[in-house]
């Protein structure tokens, strides 16, 4: 991700990440759920079931969906979540180390 002419670093992304998580309870719940099950990952419908939303909302929050969720503010776009291919058309999502740092700092603020 680039901001202007500068390549975004984790430190310059922090304000955008915090804003993104504040603006979307679905993004925040997904990140917190993936933190709880870390280092394991999960697939879309399981995440949706555990955060009590629809699989479409989960996909939008994780990967971006042009109409509702901006790609650059998606969990993957913010480098909080990574996608792992789990075989036959199954995509597993898990929190990155950077994502773990962000969620830990959010929980310390509570």
Can you tell me the mean pLDDT for 66-89? 84
pLDDT score for 45? 94
**pLDDT averaged over every residue in the chain:** 86
Longest dimension (CA), the chain: 40
Least confident range from 10-19, 41-50, 72-81: namely: 10-19
User: Regarding the domain delimited by 13-109, which CATH topology (the fold level of the hierarchy) does it fall under?
Assistant: Arc Repressor Mutant, subunit A (1.10.10)
Domain boundaries, the chain: 13-109
H/E run at residue 81: strand 81-85
Distance CA 10, CA 101 (A): 11
């Amino acid at each position: 991700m680039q901001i202007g002419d500068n390549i975004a670093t984790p430190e310059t992304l922090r304000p955008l990440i915090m804003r993104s998580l504040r603006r979307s309870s679905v993004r925040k719940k997904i990140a917190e759920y993936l933190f709880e099950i870390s280092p394991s990952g999960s697939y879309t419908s399981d995440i949706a079931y555990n955060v009590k939303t629809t699989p479409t909302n989960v996909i939008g929050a994780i990967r971006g969906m042009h109409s509702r969720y901006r790609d650059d503010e998606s969990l993957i776009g913010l480098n909080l979540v990574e996608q792992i291919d789990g075989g036959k058309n199954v995509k597993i999502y898990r929190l990155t180390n950077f994502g773990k740092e962000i969620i830990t700092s959010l929980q310390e603020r509570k």
